[in-house]
Amino acid sequence: MNDDVPELDELSAAILRELAAAPGEAGMSLPRLGKHLGLGASVLMRSLSGMSNARIGGVDGPGWVRVTQVEERWNAALTEAGREFCRRRFG
């Protein structure tokens, strides 16, 4: 593996693969993502937070994903940095 591509845990890799496979740039709703992966929203949100640009433990995240809420609907999508990372990581 390329040294400039960070290692990922299995959950993060699975989430990024699902978001990369989503049509267009809109991503997918958290319920749909959870259904595809067999996971609950709280598990997804923890992992997505670590891949966003959120500052956790004094360290900025990589900014690969964006989570938005419109009314009651939560959505996750790759950012441009996330799409580039997925191209390098997954081919």
- Between CA 15 and CA 2 the distance in angstroms is 21
67 phi and psi, to 5 degrees? -115, 125
- Between CA 83 and CA 62 the distance in angstroms is 12
| Amino acid 54: pLDDT | 87
| Amino acid 5: pLDDT | 55
CA angle (35 as vertex; 33, 41 as ends), nearest 5? 65
- Between CA 62 and CA 60 the distance in angstroms is 7
Give whichever of 6-10, 54-58, 71-75, 78-82 has the largest mean pLDDT.
78-82
Q: Which pLDDT tens digit goes with each residue over 24-37?
A: 888 999 999 999 99
DSSP 8-state code for residue 65: E
